[in-house]
Amino acid sequence: MSLKVWIDGKLLDKDDAKVSVYDHGLLYGDGVFEGIRVYNGRIFKCEQHLGRLWDSAKTIRLAIPYTRDELRAAMEQTVKANNFTDCYIRLVVTRGVGYLGLSPAKCARPTAFVITDTIEMYPKEMYERGMSVITASVIRNHPNAISPRVKSLNYLNNILARIEANDAGVPEAIMLNHEGNVAECSADNIFIVRGGVVMTPTITDGILEGITRNAIIDLCHRDKIPCVERTLQRHDLYIADECFLTGSAAEVVSITRIDGRVIGTGTPGPVTKRLHDAFHRYTREG
């Protein structure tokens, strides 16, 4: 059975789900999106994802032509149409169909679509053994360009960082900000553990404020694990006892080597394992 995709109120077969080549989302990366998980038939942190979508759209002056309730219903409809109980949702809003010019003035109406599918970011053994990463030469967006807090369709600097990771034979790359401090990975937020304290860059360090990131911070507080948001440098990564990344698609995965340097014991650490298991219970057992 072909997967169904929701586009502006219609469910279409995957092969028939198309947007115009004149859409500014395709021509210029002019739009916003969210990657969202569904666990046991429930959309995880739905309100937080919709809130971030609206914040991103407001920053780029994009008026979403639907209410939050309508987009929530569209996601639920698409999940149900594809008979999923656990899946990944890609919710996208573009500027819409325009013409061959930068100005969005001729884009009559934004386009919205919902994709639901399965996703596996990393192989199972990587979650058990940890992963190696590098530090990319490409920096995260300057906050006075397009803020990293906007989840826009323009991901080219992240893609260039991921190409560097591919060239190095590793699955992820850490991106620094314009000041040379740690921001995040190409598609995930980053945490370290040192002396039993969990640390992660602040929202002013050039990061996307991840929904999974915030859930991990909440779990730390709930489980009495010391956790702080602070500016980190590469030195802090290299001397960490543990390191891990988080994201809607990746969930929680340990980093055991950075730029050829072994982190901690070179295996997933106890705090990372504890948070991985706590997140798994939180999302799947309620």
The domain ranges of the chain are 4-117, 124-284
Supply the pLDDT for residue 168: 98
- Say if strands 42-43 and 87-94 run parallel, antiparallel, or are unpaired: unpaired
| CA–CA dist 99, 105 (Å, integer) | 9
| CA–CA dist 155, 23 (Å, integer) | 17
Supply the pLDDT for residue 286: 57
Residue 2 DSSP code: P
Supply the pLDDT for residue 250: 94
Fold classification of 4-117 (topology level): D-amino Acid Aminotransferase; Chain A, domain 1 (3.30.470)
Q: What is the pTM of this model?
A: 0.95
Supply the pLDDT for residue 285: 72
- Say if strands 189-194 and 242-247 run parallel, antiparallel, or are unpaired: antiparallel
Supply the pLDDT for residue 157: 94
Identical fold at 4-117 and 124-284? no
Torsion, CA 224, CA 199, CA 210, CA 132, rounded to 10: -120
Mention every residue, 6+ apart, whose C-beta is less than 8 A from residue 213: 189, 191, 200, 207, 246
CATH class as words, domain 124-284: alpha beta
Cα end-to-end distance, the chain, whole Å: 31
Supply the pLDDT for residue 54: 98
| Cβ contact 129:256 at 8 Å | yes
| Cβ contact 186:136 at 8 Å | yes
| CA–CA dist 134, 260 (Å, integer) | 8
Supply the pLDDT for residue 276: 97
Supply the pLDDT for residue 121: 83
Place of tokens 């990366």: 29
AA identity, residue 227: C
Q: Which parts of the chain sit beneath pLDDT 50?
A: none
Q: Is residue 151 annotated as part of the catalytic site, yes or no?
A: yes
Active-site annotation holder among 14, 45, 106, 151: 151
